[in-house]
Structure 1
Amino acid sequence: MQVPAARIVFPEADRAEIASLTSEILASGALTLGAHTKEFEAAFAAAHGAPFAVAVSSGTAALEIILRTVEVADADVVVPTNTFAATGFAVLRAGANLIFADVDAETFALSAATVAAALTPRTRAVVLVHIGGLITPEVDDIRALCDERGILLVEDAAHAHGSSHDGRYAGSFGVAGAFSFYPTKVITSGEGGMILTADERVRDEAVIFRDQGKAGFLGNVHIKQGYAWRMSELHAVTGLVHLRRLPEFLDSRNAAAAAYTAGLGQIEALEPILVPAGGRSNYYKYLALLRPGIDRVRLKKELKERHGVSLSGEVYEAPLHEQPVFESYARGNHPVAQDVCARHVCLPVHSDMTAAEVDHVLVSLASAVEALTVAI
């Protein structure tokens, strides 16, 4: 049996509907910022209990636009060092200075303590990243700390479609949240991103920024330095159709994750990262920490070559403060991030994963770990 690292799920009926709608869009000539984009925005906002949503060209664009609307230029912005490079790039392109913070080992996310340690007199915003779909149980403490200091909390929810904590969805804890629709995400539009917010001013400014800073779609009066951050109608209908599958995708992924958690109890070399009490993850990633001494590269090679199992990409293989592009912003060590980045793996989780696939992954893991332990 072959188990891929990721599988993009579009049932036949959905493909047919997207094809039909795409044909209508092409015939109409209205290819961007039309009715389908508005419908997708409304549906995504409703699915996450948010008043407003703004569709854009990518998750990176969504985060940069949020940071521009809250005016971080020439200020400091705190981000976890354990995140995708796009989080850092968005901060820099919004004109701010990057301050890296360590994370906790339970959720791979910022904690109130790591945020407090990273704050400066010039801090304007903190970006909380929901790694793998997990929302830290310290999210309210982080928000309270930010409020106390007059700092804005922004969510990088690129991984967290449908994830929640204590009944509140990702994207609802800060001033705004940025989501990605890259093909491997739980919900995809092919390419694209979404801004969620309860702040009407953020919504209004985001609409201006995404369309070259124009005061209106049909005019040519520019009032901000925007960019071509629009979502096309073709991407919007793809995302809209896929979004309808979110509840069943969440159920399927949670079922696979529950089976993994039960099975890993018999494999001492891996410690699963559990969803905090009160939370529900979308399991964009299923995270587990390897016992010290287990070589991740060799384990992945053994699984793929001998068992046909491909592990998902790490989140992340190396923290940002160790990456060359961010060298000038690196200050000090961040030991927890360095440890979890070096030792974790991501088991494959698909939105249509079968019990047989989960069983094969678990049996393969046990065999591969045993082979590596004997070799040691």
Structure 2
Amino acid sequence: MGVPAARIVFDEADRAAVAAAAEEILATGALTLGPWTERFEQAFAAEHAAAHAVAVSSGTAALEILLRTVGVRGRDVVVPAVTFYATAGAVLHAGGTPVLADVDPATFALGPATLEAALTPDTAAVVLVHVGGLITPDVDALRALCDTRGIPLIEDAAHAHGSSHDGRAAGTFGLGAAFSFYPTKVVTSGEGGMVLTASAEVRDEARIYRDQGKGSFGANHHVREGYAWRLSEMNAAVGTIHLRRLKEFVEARREVARRYDDALAGIEGLQPLPEPPGCRSNIYKYIALLPPGSDRARFKREVYDGFGVRLAGEVYDLPLHRQPVLGPYQGPPLPAAEDVCARHVCLPVHSDMTEDESARVIEAVTAVHRRLAAR
């Protein structure tokens, strides 16, 4: 039996709890914006030591809501080139113009220099992405740079449930943060997202935007150009139940990362992306860089063909400025983004990964790397 790239973990107790919640929801008829949504919001805010949380239909919706709250229509928003399309897509749907920035290759995230180079006189917001669950040690410097310019910093924390830097949780470094609960995430609600913020004003705006722009749940008075961004009670129940496992899952994933780190430390040319001092990643992804000029497709194929280990889900194989749909927003060359996107792989990490599975991954990538390097 092989090792899949990802595995979604709901044990027997989790499944029983979800079934009981579903029975309760169907019996009461409260299918949206009910008690499970409130429980999910409160639990997620508490888990990240945040003041407010607003559950929505996706991480993309959470990010667009934050951008609409800031007011980016007709203005520029700085987005790192190493991120999922949805980061730039949310800017476009909110009426803004994405300005694509290069990244620091040590973190795959914006750095002070790359942010400075991308700022324009009409920058309305900056989106900082915590790629793979890693929070850059430059996060405070980036926030200070934004504060100096009077520009709100928004966190795309889609990967970063439970991650922290210097004891501060992801989602608490900017004006607001967007989290995703897509099935592959460390915690999932099936589909869903969350706005996290310290601002009561942002919280209130998010609640309005998620429910068709209505001023209140029971009224038919629309005060914003909102959308159907509600999270169903079924999804909220799944997310609430899964969230109880977050600390356990993160520790399990960090143990896998420790095994990988130890095994790859002595292998020349296969370089894990290091966890910077002060950062405690949830290891949503374990990223390693192949040598320059490597044939990544061949590496992945030989790892699977020879050992049954799937290396899927790069973050990301194509930087945003090379995405066809974002062609109109291509600016100057972004060499660091192009380099790291072209030659990294993500080793499988599961929240219930066994030692045998991680040992098989280590055997596979070590053997294939050494064989290809010798040719």
TM-score (norm 2): 0.99
SS of alignment partner, residue 128 of structure 1? strand
1:61 partnered with 2:55: no
Q: Which amino acid aligns with 2:314?
A: E
Q: Indicate the residue corresponding to 2:26 in structure 1.
A: 26
Q: Indicate the residue corresponding to 1:362 in structure 2.
A: 362
Equivalent residues, number: 375
Kept after mapping to 2: 8 A contact 1:285/1:312: no
1: CA distance, partners of 2:305 / 2:238: 35
Q: Indicate the residue corresponding to 1:4 in structure 2.
A: 4
Q: Indicate the residue corresponding to 1:196 in structure 2.
A: 196
- 1:266 is displaced (CA, Å) by 2.9
Q: Which amino acid aligns with 2:80?
A: P
Kept after mapping to 1: 8 A contact 2:270/2:369: no
1: CA distance, partners of 2:340 / 2:197: 31
Residue by residue, what CA displacement relative to the aligned partner does 1:257-308 show, whole Å, maximum 9, x if unpaired? 0110010013223101111101100000001110123211001001111101
2: CA distance, partners of 1:294 / 1:266: 19
Deviates more, 1:114-123 or 1:287-296: 287-296
> Which residues of 2 match residues 15-54 of structure 1 at below 5 A?
15-54=15-54
Q: Which amino acid aligns with 2:110?
A: L
1: CA distance, partners of 2:294 / 2:69: 45
SS of alignment partner, residue 41 of structure 2? helix
- 1:312 is displaced (CA, Å) by 3.2
SS of alignment partner, residue 357 of structure 2? helix
Q: Indicate the residue corresponding to 1:179 in structure 2.
A: 179
Q: Indicate the residue corresponding to 1:269 in structure 2.
A: 269
- 1:370 is displaced (CA, Å) by 2.6
Kindly report structure 1 stretches of 4+ aligned residues shifted beyond 2 Å.
Answer: 370-374
2: CA distance, partners of 1:121 / 1:368: 49
1:371 partnered with 2:366: no
> Which residues of 2 match residues 83-232 of structure 1 at below 5 A?
83-232=83-232
1: CA distance, partners of 2:368 / 2:114: 36
Kept after mapping to 1: 8 A contact 2:133/2:283: yes
2: CA distance, partners of 1:282 / 1:180: 14
2: CA distance, partners of 1:312 / 1:217: 42
2: CA distance, partners of 1:370 / 1:138: 34
2: CA distance, partners of 1:70 / 1:197: 13
Q: Indicate the residue corresponding to 1:306 in structure 2.
A: 306
1: CA distance, partners of 2:95 / 2:72: 7
Kept after mapping to 1: 8 A contact 2:36/2:236: yes
Residue by residue, what CA displacement relative to the aligned partner does 1:348-368 show, whole Å, maximum 9, x if unpaired? 000011111111111111111
2: CA distance, partners of 1:97 / 1:265: 42
TM-score (norm 1): 0.99
Structure 1 gap ranges (5+): none
Q: Which amino acid aligns with 1:104?
A: D
Q: Indicate the residue corresponding to 1:337 in structure 2.
A: 337
Deviates more, 1:240-249 or 1:350-359: 350-359
1:351 partnered with 2:351: yes
Deviates more, 1:3-12 or 1:20-29: 20-29
1: CA distance, partners of 2:315 / 2:141: 24
SS of alignment partner, residue 140 of structure 2? helix
- 1:63 is displaced (CA, Å) by 0.1
Residue by residue, what CA displacement relative to the aligned partner does 1:115-139 show, whole Å, maximum 9, x if unpaired? 0000000001000000000000000
Aligned-residue Cα RMSD (Å) equals: 0.8
Percent of residue pairs bearing the same amino acid type: 62
Residue by residue, what CA displacement relative to the aligned partner does 1:76-134 show, whole Å, maximum 9, x if unpaired? 10000111000000001111111010001111000011000000000010000000000
Q: Which amino acid aligns with 1:32?
A: T
2: CA distance, partners of 1:289 / 1:366: 13
Residue by residue, what CA displacement relative to the aligned partner does 1:194-237 show, whole Å, maximum 9, x if unpaired? 00000110000000000000011111111111000000000000
